[in-house]
């Protein structure tokens, strides 16, 4: 079938197209050249419509053990937000941590076509993939957690050479069917198991004697030498701690120029100035990002209201549990692989700290010069549920609206912030960069995030409106792999997306030593740890897309 989208105003930053009226043709799920004599089966007239590629969320907790525990911990969220069964849609529930089907439906209704889970515990990866396999309509992918795993720390403590460490990292990516590597509080989760409550960047861990900086450097170097497109995805040390600004700056400057992505940077940008010993470090962080082209960030914006924090950073989550709302929390460790902490939380606009957190995130968005290196996230659900993205986009695009909101927060926080003096307003082109083209480029998804010939036909069409929250809340059309799945903000067809993975080469002889380790310390055999392709294609729901590693360019 040949489909023509005609007369739409196209924003496609990957090809430098900034608001040009163009026609787009779709055939067999891909964007194609204009046909010569072929009949066109469907035509969509898109006059006064905005056309972008499907949006991509690079950091959202949508599947895995922590998400399931959060759902179990908050039945009230699911009782209050039922999603009824219809002839087309499966039943579901939840708002701040929705069920799998609801997750896919809500993302697609906003024009998102791909979402990436940033905390896939390798030991638990099979469950995470099966759960994400139950999310309809969107593509998925995961980042495998390393940096607190017992085997990796043993290698670093023994000062194994970088080649052997690279083989281990590549093996984990292959065995866990992931697209990238994430590290959470490097070494800190392991230190917490030895009753330590904080681990600084250059402080040796209590058992293996490895510092967080050593972990970051070895992991970042491994991914660089393996030519994995997505750089090391980092949840740094001292999340949420006043004064952590210095740790974050030291992390940026101390990575030796290697590519590094800093996740939810808002939570790592706090000074300790003022009467309350809590201040904004956004300007210094933005300056450091602007100065270091090897660094990318996503913000992890907080927005006011009830949510639940889910994190592998059990050390920091334990510190936060006294602030839980409602008063309940949960912690889990799985086979010394990593940690997991669940703490419900309600951000209040009249609370000084929460209000200043809100301004810090927006300041970072607006002070980082290059939209290709800063990404729109709320670290769902930690900062806010992902369904709040249209509201966040309006805050970035509409200074008048932003200042109106600023006037309603805690007055001391508003006075302590420079947000009111920032005049920048994001353009539609810049929004398309940070939510489409930039995200695809950072992840190495060459056929997503753009509208060029040969790209997957993941396309979102909006009616242009002054109120950008309304505009981005309800697309006119969403096409997924060339099939129309959303019309006027409502789902009309359910499809299943792709799981994106990467498979760098490695020396398979590493399995001999790993097998001995599994037999001695872990509850499953190495062969059962590895996830096979057949398991990923769960009852024919979706398939796998293997993305190539970059051509070797490391020196």
CA dihedral sign of residues 319, 205, 300, 412: positive
Residue 541 has pLDDT above 80, yes or no: no
Instruction: Provide the total of helices (H) and of strands (E) in the chain, helices listed first.
Output: 21, 26
pLDDT reading at 551 higher than 80: no
- The domain total for the chain is 1
279-288 burial code (b ≥16 CB/10 A, e <16): bbbbebbbeb
DSSP 156-177: HHTT--HHHHHHHHHHHHHHHT
* pTM exceeds 0.85, yes or no: yes
Quickly state the pLDDT bin for 554 (edges 50, 70, 90): very low
Contact 453, 388 (CB under 8 A): no
> For the packed helices 245-253 and 282-291, what is the interaxial angle rounded to 10 degrees?
0
CATH code at position 125: 3.20.20.140
| pLDDT per position as a tens digit, 479-533 | 999 999 999 999 999 999 999 999 999 999 999 999 999 999 998 999 999 999 9
What's residue 65's pLDDT? Answer: 87
CA distance 441 to 449: 8
Is the predicted pLDDT of residue 370 greater than 60, yes or no?
A: yes
By the 8 A CB rule, do 338 and 346 touch?
Answer: no
Categorize the per-residue pLDDT at 553 as very low, low, confident or very high, splitting at 50, 70 and 90.
very low
Rounded to whole angstroms, the Cα distance separating 337 from 100 reads 25
Cβ–Cβ < 8 Å for 480, 105: no
The 10 Å Cβ neighbour count of residue 87 is 4
**Tokens at 227, concatenated:** 């030519």
Specify if 69 maps to a domain.
yes
Mean of the per-residue pLDDT values of the chain: 95
Burial class (CB in 10 A: 0-12, 13-18, 19+), 336: middle
Residue 53: which of 485, 461, 463 has the closest Cα? 461
How do 260-262 and 295-298 pair as beta strands? Answer: parallel
210 CB contacts (<8 Å, ≥6 apart)? Answer: 153, 156, 157, 187, 204
Cβ–Cβ under 8 Å, residues 235 and 223 = no
| Rounded Cα–Cα distance for residues 498 and 503 (Å) | 16
- DSSP code of 552? P
Domain-embedded: residue 250? yes
Contact of 254 with 213, CB cutoff 8 Å: yes
| Cβ-based neighbour number of residue 305 at 10 Å | 15
**CA 460 to chain CA mean position, Å:** 20
A 10 A CB-CB count for 554 gives: 10
Q: Is 475 helix (H, G, I), strand (E, B) or coil?
A: coil
Whose tokens are 């593509």? That residue is 139
Alpha helices (H) in 227-371, listed in sequence order: 245-253, 282-291, 314-320, 352-367
Q: What is the pLDDT of residues 302-342, one digit of tens each?
A: 999 999 999 989 898 999 999 999 999 998 887 778 888 99
β 17-27/2-12 pair status: antiparallel
383 within domain boundaries: yes
H or E segment to which residue 349 belongs: none
H-run or E-run covering 100: helix 100-109
Place of tokens 């759960």: 131
Give the whole-angstrom CA distance, residue 487 versus residue 210.
Answer: 53
HSE at residue 439, side-chain half, CA atoms within 13 A, is: 28
Structure confidence at residue 384 (pLDDT)? 98
In a domain, 344, yes or no: yes
Identify the band that residue 537 occupies on the pLDDT scale cut at 50, 70 and 90: confident
397 and 426 Cβ atoms separated by less than 8 Å: yes
Residue 531: inside a domain, yes or no? no
Percent residues over pLDDT 70 in the chain: 99
pLDDT, one tens digit per residue, over 12-36 is: 999 999 999 999 999 999 999 988 8
Query: How far apart are the C-alpha atoms of 369 and 416, rounded to whole Å?
Result: 22
How far apart CA 61 and CA 503 sit, in angstroms, is: 23
Residue 353 resides in a domain: yes
Q: Is the pLDDT of residue 539 over 80?
A: no
Is 44 contained in some domain?
A: no
Give the E-state strand segments of 204-304 in sequence order. Answer: 232-235, 260-262, 270-271, 279-280, 295-298
Could you report the per-residue pLDDT of 139-185, keeping only the tens digit for each? 999 999 999 999 999 999 999 999 999 999 999 999 999 999 999 99
Q: What residue numbers bound the domain in which 423 lies?
A: 52-498
| Domain membership flag for residue 79 | yes
């Amino acid at each position: 079938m040949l489909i023509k989208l005609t007369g739409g105003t196209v924003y496609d930053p990957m090809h430098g197209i900034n608001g040009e009226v163009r026609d787009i043709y779709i055939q067999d799920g891909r964007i194609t050249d204009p046909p010569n004599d072929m009949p066109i089966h469907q035509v969509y007239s898109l006059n006064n419509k905005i056309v972008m590629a499907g949006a991509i969320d690079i950091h959202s907790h949508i599947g895995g053990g922590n998400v399931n525990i959060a759902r179990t911990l908050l039945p009230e969220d699911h009782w209050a937000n039922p999603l009824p069964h219809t002839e087309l849609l499966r039943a579901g529930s939840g708002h701040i941590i929705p069920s799998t089907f609801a997750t896919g439906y809500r993302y697609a209704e906003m024009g998102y076509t791909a979402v990436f889970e940033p905390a896939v515990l390798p030991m638990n990866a099979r469950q995470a993939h099966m759960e994400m396999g139950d999310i309809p309509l969107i593509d998925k992918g995961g980042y495998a957690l390393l940096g607190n795993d017992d085997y990796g720390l043993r290698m670093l403590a023994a000062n194994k050479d970088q080649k052997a460490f690279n083989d281990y990292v590549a093996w984990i990516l292959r065995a866990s069917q992931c697209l990238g590597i994430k590290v959470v509080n490097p070494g800190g989760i392991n230190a917490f198991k030895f009753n330590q409550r904080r681990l600084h960047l250059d402080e040796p861990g209590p058992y293996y004697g490895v510092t967080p900086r050593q972990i970051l450097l070895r992991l970042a170097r491994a991914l660089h030498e393996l030519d994995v497109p997505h750089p090391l995805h980092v949840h740094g040390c001292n999340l949420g701690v006043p004064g952590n600004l210095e740790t974050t700056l030291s992390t940026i400057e101390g990575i030796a120029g290697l590519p590094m992505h800093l996740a939810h940077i808002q939570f790592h940008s706090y000074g300790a100035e003022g009467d309350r010993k809590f201040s904004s470090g956004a300007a210094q962080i933005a300056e450091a990002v602007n100065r270091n082209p090897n660094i990318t960030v996503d913000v992890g914006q907080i927005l006011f209201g009830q949510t639940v924090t889910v994190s592998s950073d059990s050390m920091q989550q334990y510190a936060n549990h006294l602030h839980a709302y409602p008063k309940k929390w949960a912690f889990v460790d799985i086979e010394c692989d990593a940690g997991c902490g669940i703490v419900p939380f309600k951000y209040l606009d009249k609370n000084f700290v929460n209000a200043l957190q809100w301004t810090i995130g927006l300041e970072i968005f607006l002070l980082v010069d290059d939209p290709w290196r800063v990404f729109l996230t709320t670290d769902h659900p930690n900062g806010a549920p992902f369904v709040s993205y249209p509201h966040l986009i309006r805050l970035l695009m509409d200074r008048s609206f932003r200042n109106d909101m600023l006037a309603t927060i805690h007055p001391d926080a508003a006075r302590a912030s420079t947000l009111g003096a920032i005049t920048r307003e994001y353009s539609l082109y810049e929004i398309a960069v940070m939510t489409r083209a930039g995200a695809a480029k950072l992840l190495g998804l060459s056929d997503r995030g753009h509208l060029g010939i040969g790209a997957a036909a993941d396309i979102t069409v909006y009616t242009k409106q002054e109120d950008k929250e309304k505009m981005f809340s309800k697309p006119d059309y969403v096409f997924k792999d060339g099939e129309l799945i959303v019309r006027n903000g409502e789902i009309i067809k359910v499809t299943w997306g792709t799981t994106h993975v990467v498979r760098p080469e490695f020396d398979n002889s590493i399995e001999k030593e790993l097998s001995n380790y599994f037999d001695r310390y872990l509850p499953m055999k190495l062969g059962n740890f590895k996830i096979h392709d057949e398991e990923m294609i769960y009852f024919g729901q979706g398939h796998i897309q293997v993305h190539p590693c970059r051509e070797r360019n490391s020196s």
